[in-house]
Amino acid sequence: MRTFLLGSAIALSATIASAEGTSTTYSYDGSFEDATFSVESAIVGKGLVIDYVSHVGEMLNRTGADVGSDVKVFDAADIFVFCSAVISRKMMEADPMNIAHCPYGIFVADRDGQVVVGYRTYPEGPMQEVQALLDEIVKEAVGE
């Protein structure tokens, strides 16, 4: 049993470590609804169009029993999907395979009353311009 618990702890640590560094998050002091409104306003305020809002939290909650899980991952979670024609063109002219990073997304997640806003981190090089844009939008949304 001790070996099983130790192995489980190591596996959990590896899972947590693998998730570190893949996204940048900021705490939001307010409700999930206020955070999503702030994110939407910040994106639109940059002259960008939101293509789609993915309601990931609702999907996970709705399908949990169907896949044999009773774990509630999020109280609520949405991802705002959008693009910038100007920056996307620049990124893909630098390297056409940057298409893999398009469109861009900013997520809002609520877990146990803790609301975070964030985005996926991008590789060094030209994609840092996209990351800077996302960071600017998220900081505006969270009031930094």
pLDDT tens figures, 81-120: 999 999 999 999 999 999 999 999 999 999 999 999 999 9
3-state secondary structure of 106: strand
CATH number for the domain that contains residue 89: 3.30.310.70
Domain-located, residue 104? yes
Q: Is position 5 within any domain?
A: no
pLDDT in tens, 17-58: 335 689 999 999 999 999 999 999 999 999 999 999 999 999
Answer whether 0.85 is exceeded by the pTM. no
Domain of residue 115: give its range: 22-142
Q: Residue 21 has what pLDDT?
A: 81
How many other C-beta atoms can be found within 10 angstroms of the C-beta atom of residue 103? 13
Judge whether 13 lies within some domain: no
Flag whether 123 is in a domain: yes
**Residue 88 maps to a domain:** yes
The tally of domains found in the chain comes to 1
